[in-house]
Structure 1
Amino acid sequence: MQALIRFVKKGIKPEQLFMLSVLLVNGGNYLYNLVLGRILGPEKFADAAILITFLLVLSFVAMTFQLVTAKFSVLFEDSVFSGFISKIYKNALFTGVFLAILIVVFSLQLQSFFRTTSSTMFVIFGIGVPFYFLMSVNRGVFQGKQELKSLSITYQSEMISRLLLTFTLLYLLDIDSSLIIAIGIFFSFIFGLLPFRTSNFYLSKKFVLDTANKKLVKNFFIITAFYELTQIIINNSDILLVKHYFESYEAGLYASLALIGRVVYFIAWMFVMLLLPTVVQLKKEGKDTLPILLKYVAYIAVIAATIVVSCFFFPDEIIKILFGSEYLSISNLLWKYASATGIFAISNIFAYYYLSLDKYVPVVLSGIFGMLQIVLVVLFHDSLEQVVHVQIIAMVLLLFVQLSFFFFKDSVKSKKIEEITKE
């Protein structure tokens, strides 16, 4: 046993340990969704899927603060770093409170639009939003400083608490399942704050960046916020629109389809978490960043291809194992939806890479095609199959333009190197 512990400490790098932790967290979150789908059935699961989708939307909004914190945790040091973190905590808390008020005030309208059984679930969810934003800044510090052990613990704390509390309450209480799910999500935000770096948390501390750094932070924040908005649109607009346009039973079926098909995106996310600080650090040291991009693109492409092929050959078996026979009617769409998310995951790696390098054209491209996806679903939603097909079209076009931008930038870079060499 001691020999095994020594091997783990010496043989496994922090990055590999973090990836294992992310797989564990994603596995736990996946189990959470699968068990809910089995226990609740398609109609009640449709309501649960709305809250889960709201959670994903919130995570993308808060990710803006996390990525900004992560990037400038690498670039800033000492008193500048301390002041910057204090300021971003205040901004994150203000944003969280503002969004919480909006969700609570418009909870009845949200219930009406998404045709859910309760408005209270939105109220409970909204109250927890400020805690999630604080949690995201805390994670950004750990991500930027490469404190991967602490970063892993925050994700594990959030996942495990939500998993245990939700299913314990479902077993013990005979109330609306959507309320229980909202309560589980709320308390997971509290547990996700652990471990919390209190030394950086000073709401009363005043700090002003110099003009150059302030502009740098502002520009990166705005473009990151825009990009995370595109992530929200591409990842979640389909579920929200399906819940609006279709009956609860069909919306529940689609939610299960989306959950299975998005496995590749959840896996790709752990590479994105490592990509940004690594690229920023390499750029800071004047080293070539292209190899790390190509390595991660290769990883995601192989994983995506494996998942799509599995969904093509074994759709019924996968759905029976994961959700049960009630959901078999959408098995023919499984490989198609997985293809759309796989293509998007590859495109996403390019966008995050260029975002790390302060090149924002791929971010704008993601926004354009995210809006295209919404327009296509709004115009073409006669069936669930049609909804999936238009998403494939949008994602193929997005990957094409991202690759075109990549090869264009690479060819320009090569020409510059040749000119310098000749001189």
Structure 2
Amino acid sequence: QRRGLRPRLAGLGSNRLVRQNLVLFAGGLVAGVGGFVYHAIAGRVLGPSLYGDVASLIALYAVFTAPALIMVVVLARYAASLVASGADSSIRYLVVRSSQVTILPTIVIVVAGFALAVPTAQFLHLHSPLPVIWLGFGIAALWQTGIPRGILQGIQNFTGLSANLSLEMIVRCAALSILLAAGLGVTGATISVMAGTAFAYGLGMYTLRAQLGKASVRAPLRSMIGFSLTAAAGTLGIMLLYNLDVILAKHYLSPHDGGIYGSLNKIGTILYFLTLSVSQVLYPRVVEALMRNNHPGRLVAYSAGIVGVLGAGALLVFGVVPGLVVRLLFGPSFIDAETYIFLVGVIGLALSLNNLLVQFFMAAHDRWFIPILWAGVVMLGVSVSLYHGGVGSIVTDVLGTMLALLAALTVRLLFLLPRLQPVVPE
């Protein structure tokens, strides 16, 4: 006998994966909206030419925050393993040791911001090198923020993680409005990034106060080193997939077209950030399932379904009212982007699914996805470098790359699923 709609909905409401996704989706939605409000404010106040500076700087920021995201992946996996094996008393040690290890790199990135400000500004055709210096401080702050975020994800405190992600963007947007009103322009846009991440770090450590208040039990961390290479390859690859094109577009296109493409990239990544919570929930759940000898195939199938449903809704809006999307987010001066809105929506959905699969592969400690992912990154860079006749050419380059990569990663998933084995705790 077939079940009715109400029992099915009740079943979904009691599903742990769905509940966790809803909690993190709420925070991710606020963070995602906040991210686009940030770009919308900057675009409307600064105009296409100066906004092109902001878009390329934020793309550069995203690439150089890869170490923070790698740290999140590594710490989340290790924290999830500790909890699953009943060794959660070692969480405090994990936080303290990670903080000690990251102090020196944090100082180095600040110094690099000063040293490389002028050549970076020249390459990106920025109006001033000063924003690059402030960007270095923002990157340093985010590297530290990766520690509490990774632990929160690993121990599956999705409420705390959700609040952390959303409040960072609220603080960033508030700071941006104040600094632009004060006439600080592009420099103010980068200072606001640092303000948001610094707030998120403090909030993250406060959220972990219960774990930090416990007696510290030393845990062997050597196993983290080997996995760090896998996490680095996966995280940096995904970061480049949605930032490399913006940097190259700013280099090859005119200031106006560079700003238009920057706005398209941000609109396309709406789908990525809208569905990012799904992969953030999936990751520790897969680690937990494998350690407890449960097969994670259903988890990845449900997660892909959630991404597909959310993405389809966004694509419907992009296809029906593309002009409204552009005007609401960036204003009438960006109306040249209208033609490409649906295509960049497809790019965003493909990016989301690629990220979901990469997170699954990393949680399963698979390494064969790495050459596939990086072949996609190389394909993206080469195609944009060779074919950049205009905004439309770069959109076509990116769309072809994303779809080809999704097909290749799906083949790898179908090959891997029947061969998955439980993870033996180290």
TM range (shorter): 0.7 to 0.9
Aligned-residue offset at 1:412: 5.5
**Residues 16 and 248 (structure 1), Cα distance of their counterparts in 2 relative to 1, 3 Å cut:** same
Match of 1:383 in 2: 390
1:16 and 2:22 are equivalent in the alignment: yes
User: Is the Cα contact below 8 Å between 1:227 and 1:364 reproduced in 2?
Assistant: no
CA distance in 2, matches of 1:340, 1:207: 44
SS at match of 2:123: helix
Question: Deviation of residue 155 (structure 1)?
Answer: 1.8
Q: Which residue of 1 aligns with 2:8?
A: none
Shift in Å, 1:127: 2.3
Moved more, 78-87 or 103-112: 78-87
Residues 1:45 and 1:81: Cα distance change in structure 2 (over 3 Å)? same
Equivalent residue, structure 2, for 1:117:
127
Shift of the alpha carbon at 1:225? Answer: 0.7
Report 1:180-199 matches (<5 A).
180-195=188-203, 196=205, 197=208
Q: Secondary structure at the residue paired with 1:276?
A: helix
- Structure 1: runs of 5 or more not aligned: 1-7, 417-423
Alignment of 1:244-255 (within 5 A): 244-255=251-262
In 2, are the aligned partners of 1:319 and 1:328 still within 8 Å (CA)? yes
Give the distance between the partners of 1:180 and 1:412, measured in 2 at CA. 51
The amino acid of 2:32's aligned partner reads: N
Q: Residues 60 and 268 (structure 1 numbering): CA distance in 2 closer, same or farther, change over 3 Å? A: farther
In structure 2, the partner of 1:54 is 60
Which piece of structure 1 moves more, 271-280 or 143-152?
143-152
Structure number with greater CO (CA < 8 Å, separation at least 6) is 2
Per the alignment, in what secondary structure is the counterpart of residue 118 of structure 1? coil
Percent of residue pairs identical = 19
Q: Name the stretch that deviates more: 404-413 or 286-295.
A: 404-413
Distance 1:79 1:161 in 2: 33
Contact 1:47 1:116 in 2 (8 A): yes
Distance, in Å, in 2 between the alignment partners of 1:326 and 1:397 is 33
Asked if the contact 2:91/2:211 (under 8 Å) is kept, the reply is no
Partner of 1:26: 32
Greater alpha carbon shift after TM alignment, 152-161 vs 67-76? 152-161
Output aligned runs, 1:159-238, within 5 Å. Answer: 159-171=169-181, 173-175=182-184, 177-195=185-203, 196=205, 197=208, 209=220, 214=222, 216-238=223-245
Deviations 1:265-296 (A, max 9, x none): 11121111111111111111111211110011
The alpha carbon displacement at 1:264 in A equals: 0.8
Displacement of 1:123: 0.8
Is 55-64 or 131-140 further displaced after alignment? Answer: 55-64
For residues 32-111 of structure 1, what are the structure 2 equivalents within 5 Å?
Answer: 32-76=38-82, 77-78=87-88, 80-111=90-121
Asked if the contact 1:87/1:207 (under 8 Å) is kept, the reply is no
Distance 1:411 1:149, change over 3 A: closer
Structure-2 residue corresponding to 1:5 = none
Task: Tell which deviates more after alignment, 14-23 or 120-129.
Answer: 14-23
Render the CA deviation track for 1:372-399: whole Å, top value 9, x for unaligned: 1001101111111111111111111111
Give SS of 2:242's match: helix
Q: Give 1:303 shift.
A: 2.5
Aligned to 1:324: 331
Please state how far the C-alpha of 1:78 moved relative to its aligned partner: 4.9
CA drift at 1:344: 2.1
Q: Within 5 Å, give how 1:261-272 maps onto structure 2.
A: 261-272=268-279
Partner of 1:404: 411
Within 2, Cα distance between the matches of 1:70 and 1:379? 39
Q: 1:296 aligns with which of 298, 303, 314?
A: 303
Root-mean-square deviation (CA), in Å?
Answer: 2.5
Q: In structure 2, do the counterparts of structure 1 residues 260 and 286 end up closer, same or farther at CA, with 3 Å as the change threshold?
A: same
Deviation at 1:320, TM superposition (A): 2.1
Q: Give 1:81 shift.
A: 4.0
Amino acid at match of 2:297: L
Shift of 1:112: 0.2
Deviation at 1:340, TM superposition (A): 1.9
Shift of residue 100 of structure 1? Answer: 2.4
Q: Which amino acid in 2 is paired with 1:43?
A: S
Q: Pairwise mapping of residues 271-290 of structure 1 onto structure 2 (< 5 A)? A: 271-290=278-297
Aligned pair in 2 of structure 1 residues 363, 276: CA closer, same or farther (>3 Å)?
A: same
Q: How many residues align?
A: 397
Q: TM-score, normalising length from structure 1?
A: 0.87
Question: Cα deviations across residues 6-56 of structure 1 (Å, max 9, x unaligned)?
Answer: xx9xx9945522321221121122212112212221111111112322332
Q: Cα 1:411–1:17, aligned 2, differ >3 Å: closer, same or farther?
A: closer
325-334 or 365-374: which moved more? Answer: 325-334
Amino acid at match of 1:144: G
Which secondary structure state, in structure 1, belongs to the residue aligned with residue 201 of structure 2? coil
Query: In structure 2, which of residues 156, 166, 183 is the aligned counterpart of residue 156 of structure 1?
Result: 166
CA distance in 2, matches of 1:13, 1:299: 12
d(CA) in 1 for partners of 2:183 and 2:409? 50
Asked if the contact 2:44/2:330 (under 8 Å) is kept, the reply is: yes
Q: Distance in 2 between matches of 1:136 and 1:302?
A: 29
Q: Is the 8 A contact 2:89 2:217 kept in 1?
A: no
The equivalent of 2:145 in structure 1 is 135
